[in-house]
């Protein structure tokens, strides 16, 4: 599918840019953060709440939805858009992350990956062709090629082998696609080896993919190594197609990623942290632990500068009470705050880029970091 991606503004002193693209389910403005809905739901949040916060695209996960509810049920229920009542765009991970995260439960061959699934131990075979088939059943607007993801701490030979296998699998995914309304992104691997990253860009970016992702980061390397690898890789990707940094990260990671030319991000961090009482505040520059006793009698909001539903209505003391008593409402309200903060940060960066002041925004944001 031609996403009709267009860049509308750039920052002269960085690689940052803003733009937009069109899927079958609406327009997506970039740079964009995509809340993660692994099981066809963003944990703790209803679709209308996500829409109200400005989410234009969310994620589903190919492996997990293949295990539960399964391809046949997905098709019977009309795919993720219909069954989850989500009207906007969906991107689906191919299951490549589970190749690493479920390493003890899988076996890799040239054909694909065989998992002993984490629910009942039954076999799940994930080939490039089946990854596309499952994403078709989900109804994904943007599908990801199946990739082989090793940790960045793996030996260079192992990283290179996984990269070359990812190239072969990507071409098989390209041949297997059937839906004219489904875009397909390839994933650039190569660990933190700049030479391997460049080789993989050269191997894949000449193929007719609709966008490109930088994969294999935030999986064992240091933060400086991640930024250096991204600085090297992202600007080499085609300028006329979306660039996606997979599975990253904190608010400062989003800022640094945009400065290096990334258009799309996803991460479980906002909702996962919220469920534990870990909240991003001060535009994402600080994180606080709501379980701390100092919040027990606080009537004011957790973040006075935040205009989210949670901060406008509830005091920190009440939210801490819900958290400490394991009330379901705590996870919902705290997730709403964190996701809102992430989406607001991206909107602020888009406005700064369109106004020609991203460099000042970048400096201002970082000048407020603690310590």
What is the β-pairing status of strands 106-108 and 183-188? unpaired
C-beta separation of 148 from 169 below 8 A? yes
From the candidates 136, 210, 253, 266, give the one annotated as an active-site residue.
Answer: 266
Neighbours of 362 (CB within 10 A): 20
Three-class DSSP labels, 138-189: HCCCEEECCCCCCCCCCCHHHHHHHHHHHHHHHHHHHHHCCCCCCEEEEEEC
Distant-in-sequence, close-in-space partners of 354: CB < 8 Å, separation ≥ 6: 8, 9, 18
Structure tokens at 137: 């059943």
Rounded CA-CA distance 307/76 in Å is 40
Residue 142: both structure tokens together: 């943007």
Catalytic residue among 93, 210, 282, 303: 93
Residue 266 appears among annotated catalytic residues: yes
How far apart CA 89 and CA 64 sit, in angstroms, is: 19
- Quote the tokens at residue 253: 């990671």
Beta bridge partners of 91: 59, 142
CA distances, 44 to each of 27, 36, 39, 41, 189 (Å): 25, 11, 12, 8, 32
Taking the alpha carbons of 55, 57, 62, 65 in that order, is the dihedral positive or negative? positive
Mark whether 263 is an active-site residue: no
Residues involved in catalysis: 93, 266
């Amino acid at each position: 599918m031609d996403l009709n991606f267009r860049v509308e503004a750039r920052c002269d002193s960085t690689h940052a840019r803003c733009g937009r693209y069109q899927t079958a389910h609406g327009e997506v403005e970039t740079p964009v953060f995509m809340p993660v809905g692994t099981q066809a739901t963003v944990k703790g949040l209803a679709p209308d709440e996500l829409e109200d916060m400005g989410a234009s695209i969310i994620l589903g996960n190919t492996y997990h939805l293949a295990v539960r509810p399964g391809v046949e049920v997905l098709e019977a229920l009309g795919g993720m858009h219909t069954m989850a009542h989500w009207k906007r765009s969906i991107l689906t991970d191919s299951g490549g992350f589970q190749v690493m995260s479920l390493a003890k439960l899988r076996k890799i061959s040239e054909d694909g990956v065989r998992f002993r699934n984490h629910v009942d131990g039954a076999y799940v075979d994930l080939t490039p062709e089946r990854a596309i088939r499952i994403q078709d059943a989900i109804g994904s607007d943007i599908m990801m090629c199946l990739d082989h993801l090793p940790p960045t701490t793996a030996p260079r030979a192992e990283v290179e082998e996984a990269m070359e296998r990812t190239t072969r699998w990507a071409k098989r995914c390209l041949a297997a696609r059937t839906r004219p309304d489904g875009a397909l992104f390839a994933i650039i691997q190569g660990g933190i080896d700049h030479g391997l990253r460049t080789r993989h860009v050269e191997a894949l970016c000449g193929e007719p993919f609709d966008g490109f992702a930088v994969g294999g980061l935030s999986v064992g390397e240091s933060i400086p190594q991640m930024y250096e690898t991204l600085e090297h890789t992202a600007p080499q990707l085609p300028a006329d197609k979306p660039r996606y940094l997979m599975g990253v990260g904190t608010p400062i990671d989003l800022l640094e990623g945009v400065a290096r030319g990334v258009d799309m991000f996803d991460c479980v961090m906002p909702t996962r942290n919220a469920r534990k009482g870990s909240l991003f505040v001060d535009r994402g520059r600080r994180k606080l632990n709501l379980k701390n006793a100092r919040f027990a009698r606080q009537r004011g909001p957790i973040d006075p500068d935040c205009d989210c539903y949670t901060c406008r209505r509830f005091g920190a003391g009440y939210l801490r009470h819900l958290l400490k008593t394991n009330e379901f409402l705590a996870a919902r309200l705290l997730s709403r705050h964190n996701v809102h903060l992430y989406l607001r940060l991206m909107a602020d960066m888009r406005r700064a880029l369109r106004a020609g002041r991203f460099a000042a925004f970048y400096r201002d944001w970082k000048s407020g970091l603690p310590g």
